[in-house]
Amino acid sequence: MSIDQGDMPPLAPGATALYERFVALMRAGDIEGARELAPGVVIQTEGWPYAGKTGPLNPAAFQGDASAHKLMYWRDEGGGTYRLRSGAAWYTVVSKGDEYRISEGGLKPVE
């Protein structure tokens, strides 16, 4: 998956690599691998009681059309923190030196 940066300022390469790896792991159903990249972020694996509402990340949402997980927007919050939005989800990515992790994330509402 390549990220089209368009007119936005560049996203740190480490944040880009982390996002791409996380999405690939979720699409492959490797929940434990995804949790290593997003410690503390809720990844719900059973049921989906959140119809029409924002909810936790769920591997089922990563199946199907891969374009739903193309990054659409990101913002550098400073201090090594980035806010990312794809067509299906939102994330907060933080850096600790050269290492990046997802510290928050969830699915956007599906109507």
Structure tokens at 27: 């699409």
Q: What is the per-residue pLDDT for 111?
A: 46
Structure tokens at 25: 């792991």
32 inside domain: yes
6 inside domain: no
1 inside domain: no
39 inside domain: yes
98 inside domain: yes
Q: For position 23, which CATH number holds?
A: 3.10.450
2 inside domain: no
Q: Sign (positive/negative) of CA torsion 63, 67, 72, 75? A: positive
Specify whether the CB–CB gap between 3 and 85 falls below 8 A.
no
On the question of pLDDT at 1 being above 50, the answer is no
Across 8-22, 53-67, 89-103, which has the greatest mean pLDDT?
A: 89-103
Residue 12 confidence class, pLDDT cut points 50, 70, 90: confident
Q: What is the per-residue pLDDT for 5?
A: 54
Of 17, 16, 28, 26, which is closest to residue 56 (Cα–Cα)? 26
Domain count, the chain: 1
- State the Cα–Cα distance between residues 104 and 111, nearest whole angstrom: 22
- pLDDT tens digits, residue range 39-73? 989 898 876 666 666 678 888 888 888 888 898 88
